[in-house]
Structure 1
């Protein structure tokens, strides 16, 4: 009887978890598309993915409040998107990568919302988000 309860509890926990079918290994390889603007640097200074400084450091972005990375000046719209305390999760990152301006307009309800990120990645965002989620 106890095994059935644990089995049911495990199944329910799995179903309750957000489903994002990203492949972290593919996301790590695909991150090369992001390196011209973004680096991934751990708090101890270890460069996990060497890259540009046009965009914020993406280490720990999953679970971070939107628009709050230290030492980066975000657009007013992105700061507004995080003003309610919303934190990035994999699904939001994947959607944002697809079309940053459209995502901001939907999140803020402001038809004039704009992101500094002009790059769009309509395919593979879930893989990159899945890889970023491993970096904490």
Structure 2
């Protein structure tokens, strides 16, 4: 996994225009992969709510029990901006070793851009 930072950097450079142009309607379909554990409503499930995640500090939902790995990852005041979310969605376990999130990640740049557009849409709809 030593290649992840380099791969993520290349991905983010290539994806920057795509992230800006994501399709929220298509992102709603991509979100179905997230929905078993996450909600776009202000309700936690197995995973924390993703309502308002873009712009939110990492591991900051007060009533959610984050893993020690995610709490440690939040050190330094990290915020879930589009670039950080995009990098995380490539491989959550590689970015945050020890996370409880079992999802392996999204491999298509377009899916990541669309999902981010959906999460940024008012109330995630």
Q: Fold-level match, TM-score > 0.5? A: yes
1:122 to 96, 103, 107: 107
Cα distance in 1, alignment partners of residues 73 and 113 from structure 2: 20
Q: Which runs of 5+ in 2 are unaligned?
A: 1-15
More helix by share: 2
Change (3 A) 1:94 1:135: farther
Q: Deviations over 1:2-54 (max 9, x none)?
A: xxxxxxxxxxxxxxxx6424222211121111110011114xx8xxxxxx711
Say which one has the larger Rg.
1
Q: Which runs of 5+ in 1 are unaligned?
A: 1-17, 46-51, 105-112
Q: Deviations over 1:69-89 (max 9, x none)?
A: 132111112111212111101
TM-score, scaled to structure 2: 0.72
Contact 1:98 1:121 in 2 (8 A): yes
CA RMSD of aligned residues (A): 2.0
TM-score, scaled to structure 1: 0.67
Aligned to 2:39: 39
Aligned to 1:26: 26
**Deviation of the 1:60 alpha carbon:** 0.5
Aligned residues: 103
2:75 to 68, 83, 96: 83
